[in-house]
Structure 1
Amino acid sequence: MPYQEVFVLFWEQVKESIQEGRFAKLTMAKTIGKPELKNIFLRPVYSDKGFKVLLKFRYRSRDTEDQEQELSLEEALEVIKPHIKNPFLSVLLFTTSKDVIFKVNKKGVGSITETFPSFQNVTQAKSDLE
């Protein structure tokens, strides 16, 4: 199945974990080559204004400062989608009930696997933007 279709199924699990209060973190990893951008992270931010995520770009070079912004889940999706397959080949969803791994292979085929949870509790992100 093309990775775009599999990613839609994966993203449904992201939304479900947030609705159920199980979302701990999302990490984009495993890059093609050694691009300047090393990882993209999403961490939960719960507030009176509703659920947001802290989107963090982590760079390989120590000279480049990490960038953070607080976004709605829909806004974060629009930011991360262009990075799937170029350069990131995997997206890891960490929840308190399971870890869900989305991968894209060299042929552009997506897959989802599940493993035991890495996180037992949800830790809210502390934004430097406040």
Structure 2
Amino acid sequence: MAIKIIQMPFKETFLEFYTKVKSSLEDGTFAKLTLAKTIGNAELMNIYVRPIMDEDVLKLELKFKFQKEEIIEIHSIDKTFNRLLEFINNPFLSAILFTTEFDLTYKLNKKRVVSTVEQFPTFGNANEVLLEYLRGK
């Protein structure tokens, strides 16, 4: 599909990427979000993000997958951006947004230049919790 190379600070480029995350949540195409590809042998291996309902509010669950344990945090959709931004470039070099329309990979190379790659979707169905939430609106 399309490769886009961007030379901007991480916060700006990740905000552009996260805008697509928010759009996929709003239009019901979000399947999942994963932060992966760590620098070196990091203790934290992945962060998996999925929508959940918390007191009738759509929020995001962040599952921090360490080598020996998992920790779960729940944040609002907007606060999740800042929480994930802390891990871009340290230790993660990529984030992958899976939607029913496309997969979008946000990637940092060795020189810390950001590229985004859009590919055909891996998932045919959106996240079930999200779909239930949107049906109830």
Cα deviation, residue 74, structure 1: 1.6
Equivalent residue for 1:67, pick from 68, 71, 83: 71
Change (3 A) 1:121 1:112: same
1:110 aligned to which of 107, 110, 114:
114
With over 3 angstroms needed to count, the CA separation of the structure-2 counterparts of 1:29 and 1:81, relative to structure 1, is same
Question: Which position in structure 2 is the counterpart of 1:128?
Answer: none
Q: How many residues align?
A: 122
More divergent stretch after superposition (11-20 vs 67-76): 67-76
CA–CA distance in structure 1, aligned partners of residues 63 and 37 of structure 2: 16
Contiguous gaps of at least 5 residues in structure 2: 1-6, 130-137
Q: Percent identity among equivalent residues? A: 42
Please state if 1:88 is matched with 2:95.
no
CA contact (8 A) 1:17 1:95 kept: yes
Please identify runs of 4+ aligned residues in structure 1 that moved more than 4 A: none
2:105 aligns to what?
Answer: 101
CA distance in 1, matches of 2:29, 2:54: 16
TM-score w.r.t. the length of structure 2 is 0.82
C-alpha offsets along residues 48-98 of structure 1, whole Å, 9 cap, x if unaligned?
A: 62321111000113xxx2011221112221211111011100000001111
Q: Is the 8 A contact 2:15 2:81 kept in 1?
A: no
User: Structure 1 stretch 29-38 or stretch 70-79: which is displaced more?
Assistant: 70-79
CA offset digits 1:17-74 (Å, max 9, x no partner): 111011111000001101100000101124662321111000113xxx2011221112
With normalisation by structure 1, the TM-score equals 0.86
Counterpart Cα distance in 2 of 1:35 and 1:70: 23
Root-mean-square deviation (CA), in Å? 1.6
